Structure 1
Amino acid sequence: MSRSRVLIVGAGFAGYRAARTLARVARRNADVTLLNPTDYFLYLPLLPQVAAGVLEPRRATVSLTGTLPHTRLVLGEADGVDLDARTVRYAGPEGERGTLGYDRLVLAVGSVNKLLPVPGIAEHAHGFRGLPEALYLRDHVTRQIELAAVADDPDTCRARATFVVVGAGYTGTEVAAQGQLLTAALVRRRPLPHGVRPRWLLLDTAPRVLPELDERLSRTAGKVLHGRGVEVRTGASVKEATGDGVLLDDGESVDTRTLVWCVGVRPDPLVAALGIPLERGRLLVDPYLTVPGHPEVFACGDAAAVPDLANPGEYTPMTAQHAWRQGRVAGLNVVASLGHGAPRSYRHKDLGFTVDLGGAQAAANPLGIPLAGPLAGAVTRGHHLVALPGNRIRVAADWLLEALLPRQGVQLGLVRSGAVPLDTASPELARVPDDTPHPSDGGTQ
């Protein structure tokens, strides 16, 4: 008997979990291929610590070839799916083109930065969705502090030492919290002239930080940020951005050389190009994660609108917690579709959330129990060590060194600004309209 061809597109939380499940239970029945632009799975919750110099960059990555036995890795980015021919077109890392066939397809293409029609944003802001962006931000922040330290003009010094983060969800809150600790460490070694101190602004149109979480967690995070001097502006956003600063929607002008865009994500435009029903930009699937009319196609993660069986009539939010669990269900249901076992619907139980605020501080509510301070910090880091598919000892070692030794503040020069555009969607799909999905930055749990 010929072996079935299973193709997984994307190795984020959903795709990686699906591949890991299939590598374990389907190796005798199927040939599994994973299509992904990089050779690693990125553990996104640790990215702010990479940007702040707490963790070495590779700590947030897990090798695909090293952790997915019996899985063929193809490096490339999907830019087209032919559902009738059962093929996926892709572009390789060096410009080569290719086509992959499948008998079963798992679409886990994830999401890209959510853009808003704000003048100057695409040209002057940077997102925070991948390792290159984290490395660029770390170098950029370090460079601005170093340039501010030798600036003769007080206004130039203040502008370079001012950092604006838009979006107070998980990502934006953690970036601001970790970034403030980084700049504080930098100026301890080299104080700024003219009495200037680093200034961090966190903006959001919502009435509070972490608006998607319980109010107690939001208050905890707000207190930590306020205690560190981070200016939180709720009900505010950017009206225009230039190379020299931003204009807020209340008319205030802020001189800055740093604008970090963390307003949320939208599904990868690849799913809109399929021409099948969407829910606010996400691919509609049934509770078994299959695409109606195409039982051989499964979708999960940020690109899929999965019915929330715990809340009838709603869809699960775009968070890492759901993507990770959906990936496992998708993998098991692929195996079931090949005649081994029974399909299962996606059901979930909220286990709580954690937000790492840097140092020993965090906000967490494991199993609904609100925690703050060092205890929340210990729970948060413990959760990450358990959830990480690899690198646990190395991550723990970096955390220990961070607690014992001064932070290293140097530029590596690995990533230039032009290499991390805000619009991370494939150029071939850029013309697909954005259907404005639910605002989210993926969550950490």
Structure 2
Amino acid sequence: MSPSAPEANVSRSRVVVVGAGFAGFQAARTLSRTVRNTAEIVVLNPTDYFLYLPLLPQVAAGTLEPRRVTVSIPDTLPRVRLVLGEAGRVDLAGRRVHYTDPEGVSGELEYDRLILAVGSVNRLLPVPGIAEHAHGFRGLPEALYLRDHITRQIELATDASAEESASRRTFVVVGAGYTGTEVAAQGTMFTDALARRQHPRRQSERPRWVLLDVADRVLPGLDRRLSSTADRVLRRRGVDVRTGTSVEEATRTGVRLDDGEFIGTRTVIWCVGVRPDPLVSQVGLPVEHGRLLVDPRLTVPGHPDVFACGDAAAVPDLTRPGEYTPMTAQHAARQGKLAGLNVAASLGHGEQRSYKHHDLGFAVDLGGVSAAANPLGIPLSGPLAGAVTRGYHLAAMPGNRVRVAADWLLDAVLPRQSVQLGLVRSWSVPLDTASPELARVPGGPSTKE
């Protein structure tokens, strides 16, 4: 929509939701079902889809086609108006959100109620060479680029010298949290299949995956039983798991570890973690480690018309007094739903409630029939955990369930297609997605949630 176009429905209250990740999407969907035609609901987002991030490693590994993990906002939220753009500034006094659309045109949206759900971006550490030579993993462009890049490295290794071939067939994942563990687990199966098809007579030259983390175990933030299961599966597949290890420097041809060892590689995948979108700190309100401070009802103190949820908000954890809820998709989705209900209540539909939620457990898909899960605190592994994990994802996805299940079925009976698509170039997927000069490359895709 053009910024100068006349605003419609001026007599109705307008709710602007900034961001359509787990929190923003759920907030908009809840509002669309609650206030219906009594308020205008506007979602400001760089893309026209909600991205189901937990399945992104399967896109990079060729298990799922890219569109399977995207859910169309216009199709699933028909009573919601979508504005394509990236928020740049929030004017609290004027009740306006300033944004830039995909073609670089500036615009603004007035609001009566505002929900900030801008999510998070890659967390960079001051490691020389990482920003220039590592690949991030926060959006669909990164997953598409990484799948092409991995395929290309296996193909280029065919006619290279022994040293170069070993370097191209080595893949280093930095960060053994949820994302890094899944990327390594899925990636090793993908490259093994590529190598078998392209180098059937060179089975001794198996691709090598290295998983690094400064913590003393993989999945350091989760239950130790999940960690042990994941570690066992990774090592059984040949992944070189290095705990208590960090990267001191990254170059075009490899990484140097803190113990002085140099690992030759053309692929460094940065999965160290995330931090709140910098927009949150620029609003001018109190923050906690970059997250906007809110009360248990997700309202910003002193600003009853402003709500925040998901990774953008420091929400008091009523199950653990004195702490804030962690930055997980599980909390973000539930906070988004409550934010929608509380905004509706502020407009006269129902009563506001406080956020209180106990974690229901976690599930880590390790590829094939392997997984690690602890639904309701019950530790599971093997095929049963795999079934529970995939069942959980199908239930949690707001769309595309049949297509995802069909891709899983096809992957079980047919070989994966391993051609390069060439859709995304390296400059389109900068690691530092928070840098304005990098994240807003003309014509380049955004990687924000």
Normalised by the length of structure 1, the TM-score is 0.95
2:196 touches 2:203 (CA, 8 Å); kept in 1?
no
**Partner Cα distance (1:195, 1:227) in 2:** 17
Secondary structure of 2:334's aligned partner: helix
**Is 1:97 matched with 2:94?**
no
Higher mean alpha-carbon deviation, 417-426 vs 134-143, is at: 417-426
**Partner Cα distance (2:434, 2:384) in 1:** 39
2:118 touches 2:312 (CA, 8 Å); kept in 1?
yes
**Partner Cα distance (2:438, 2:388) in 1:** 41
Corresponding letter in the other structure for 1:402: D
**Is 1:258 matched with 2:258?**
no
2:430 touches 2:438 (CA, 8 Å); kept in 1?
no
**Partner Cα distance (1:121, 1:299) in 2:** 31
Q: Which residue of 2 aligns with 1:438?
A: none
**Partner Cα distance (1:111, 1:429) in 2:** 16
**Which of 215, 218, 243 is matched with 1:206 structurally?**
215
Secondary structure of 1:28's aligned partner: helix
Secondary structure of 1:62's aligned partner: strand
**Is 1:165 matched with 2:173?**
yes
Normalised by the length of structure 2, the TM-score is 0.94
**Residue-by-residue CA offset, 1:82-127 (whole Å, 9 max, x unaligned):** 0000000101001111000000000000000001000000000011
Q: Which residue of 1 aligns with 2:187?
A: 179
**Partner Cα distance (1:67, 1:125) in 2:** 35
Q: Which residue of 2 aligns with 1:388?
A: 397
Q: Any stretches of 5+ residues in structure 2 without a counterpart?
A: 1-9, 440-448
Tell me by how many angstroms 1:198 deviates: 0.4
Secondary structure of 2:114's aligned partner: strand
**Partner Cα distance (1:64, 1:194) in 2:** 45
Corresponding letter in the other structure for 1:186: L
Q: Which residue of 2 aligns with 1:314?
A: 323
1:270 touches 1:429 (CA, 8 Å); kept in 2?
no
Q: Which residue of 2 aligns with 1:435?
A: none
Q: Which residue of 2 aligns with 1:289?
A: 298
Corresponding letter in the other structure for 2:401: R
**Partner Cα distance (1:195, 1:400) in 2:** 30
2:120 touches 2:276 (CA, 8 Å); kept in 1?
yes
Q: Which residue of 1 aligns with 2:134?
A: 125
**Partner Cα distance (2:438, 2:58) in 1:** 31
Q: Which residue of 1 aligns with 2:50?
A: 41
**Partner Cα distance (2:38, 2:294) in 1:** 25
Q: Which residue of 2 aligns with 1:299?
A: 308
**Is 1:188 matched with 2:196?**
yes
1:194/1:154 CA distance change after superposition, 3 Å? farther
Q: Which runs of 4+ in 1 moved over 6 A?
A: none
Tell me by how many angstroms 1:67 deviates: 0.3
**Which of 310, 318, 332 is matched with 1:323 structurally?**
332
1:273 touches 1:429 (CA, 8 Å); kept in 2?
no
Corresponding letter in the other structure for 1:407: R
Q: How many residues are matched? A: 430
Tell me by how many angstroms 1:224 deviates: 0.2
Secondary structure of 1:407's aligned partner: coil
Q: Which residue of 1 aligns with 2:124?
A: 115
**Which of 280, 294, 308 is matched with 1:271 structurally?**
280
**Which of 402, 407, 428 is matched with 1:398 structurally?**
407
2:119 touches 2:312 (CA, 8 Å); kept in 1?
yes
**Partner Cα distance (2:87, 2:434) in 1:** 11
Secondary structure of 1:307's aligned partner: coil
Secondary structure of 2:157's aligned partner: helix
**Is 1:242 matched with 2:251?**
yes
**Partner Cα distance (1:428, 1:141) in 2:** 27
**Residue-by-residue CA offset, 1:248-277 (whole Å, 9 max, x unaligned):** 011100000000000000000001001111
1:57 touches 1:131 (CA, 8 Å); kept in 2?
yes
Higher mean alpha-carbon deviation, 273-282 vs 154-163, is at: 273-282
Corresponding letter in the other structure for 1:47: L
**Partner Cα distance (1:203, 1:291) in 2:** 38
**Residue-by-residue CA offset, 1:160-214 (whole Å, 9 max, x unaligned):** 0000000000000000000000000001112275942100000000000001111
1:79 touches 1:428 (CA, 8 Å); kept in 2?
no
**Partner Cα distance (2:340, 2:266) in 1:** 45
1:79 touches 1:429 (CA, 8 Å); kept in 2?
no
1:211 touches 1:218 (CA, 8 Å); kept in 2?
yes
**Partner Cα distance (1:142, 1:287) in 2:** 47
**Partner Cα distance (1:347, 1:428) in 2:** 39
- Percent of pairs identical after alignment? 74
Q: Which residue of 2 aligns with 1:373?
A: 382
Matches for 1:1-12 after TM superposition, within 5 Å: 2-12=11-21
Q: Which residue of 2 aligns with 1:18?
A: 27
1:362 touches 1:372 (CA, 8 Å); kept in 2?
yes
Tell me by how many angstroms 1:2 deviates: 2.5
Q: Which residue of 2 aligns with 1:437?
A: none
2:181 touches 2:219 (CA, 8 Å); kept in 1?
yes
**Partner Cα distance (1:351, 1:69) in 2:** 31
Secondary structure of 2:355's aligned partner: coil
**Partner Cα distance (1:154, 1:297) in 2:** 59
**Partner Cα distance (1:426, 1:154) in 2:** 38
1:112 touches 1:265 (CA, 8 Å); kept in 2?
yes
1:269 touches 1:429 (CA, 8 Å); kept in 2?
no
**RMSD, aligned α-carbons:** 1.4
Q: Which residue of 1 aligns with 2:348?
A: 339
